[in-house]
Amino acid sequence: MSINPLQGAQFVLAAHRVNQLPADVGAEVAFAGRSNAGKSSALNALTGHKSLARTSKTPGRTQQMVAFSLPGVVQDEMSQAAPTRLIDLPGYGYAKVPEELREHWRQEIDRYLHDRKSLRGVVLIVDIRHPLKEFDRTMLEFCFGTLLPCHVLLTKADKLSRNQAAQALAALRKQLDASTPVTAQIFSSSEGTGVEAAREAVMRMLHGEGRPSD
């Protein structure tokens, strides 16, 4: 069994605003998705920590930007360990969150995506059983427009048959422009399906790979 490069992830802080996040240096990958898509479970599976990210049967628990450090994962030009992070963005779309808070997070996520210089890519969490929602499409359009690498995890694949999951992946790929830096895969945190491939995708983004050449 290969070594998990994300296993050293450690909680750093939870921020209500972008300017409260760790210094904007090094490299980081953001995890985004709707509140009930399985984002926390995916983070836990990828890092190998059962409770690194909070999971709950009640969607919408992640209402802050949560930063996790990854010590020694990426080296800079001087072969020194560069600050490396995973950023868990607030779960989006949960109806019971007050409108004022939803608007706050719309603005902060937009600010984060546009202004964060250390952002190397986005892992977009999508429930495989449902078509893309407005938030998913907006995130993909942003990645298309900025050439920011994006890796889509079609989560909860264990809820479908293997054939159904393959059909869902094929349908998504048909919607993606081949010239954009977006990749997609089937994923199940409970069964471990696609975990290794997803880790590799995160590491490629942290190392600055996956951006199309100019």
Residue 214 lies inside a defined structural domain of this protein: no
Give the 3-state secondary structure of residue 26: coil
Q: Would you say 141 and 135 are in contact if contact means Cβ atoms under 8 Å apart? A: no
Q: Per the domain annotation, does 185 fall within a domain?
A: yes
What secondary structure letter does DSSP report for 23? P
The answer to whether residue 88 sits within a structural domain is yes
Domain that holds residue 100: 10-206
Contacting residues for 154 by C-beta, under 8 A, at least 6 apart: 126, 127, 128, 165, 168, 169, 172, 184, 185, 186, 187
- Contact in structure between 75 and 81 (CB atoms under 8 Å): yes
213 falls within a domain: no
For residue 2, being part of any structural domain is answered with no
Give the total number of structural domains in the chain: 1
Whether residue 5 lies inside any domain: the answer is no
| 211 lies in some domain | no
Q: The CATH number of the domain where 26 resides is what?
A: 3.40.50.300
Query: For every one of its 214 residues, what pLDDT tens digit does the chain have, with 9 covering 90 and above?
Result: 578 999 989 999 999 999 999 999 999 999 999 888 999 999 999 999 988 876 544 444 457 899 999 987 666 655 567 899 999 998 876 556 677 887 888 899 999 999 999 999 999 999 999 989 888 999 998 998 888 999 999 999 999 999 999 999 999 988 886 667 799 999 999 999 999 999 999 999 999 875 443 3
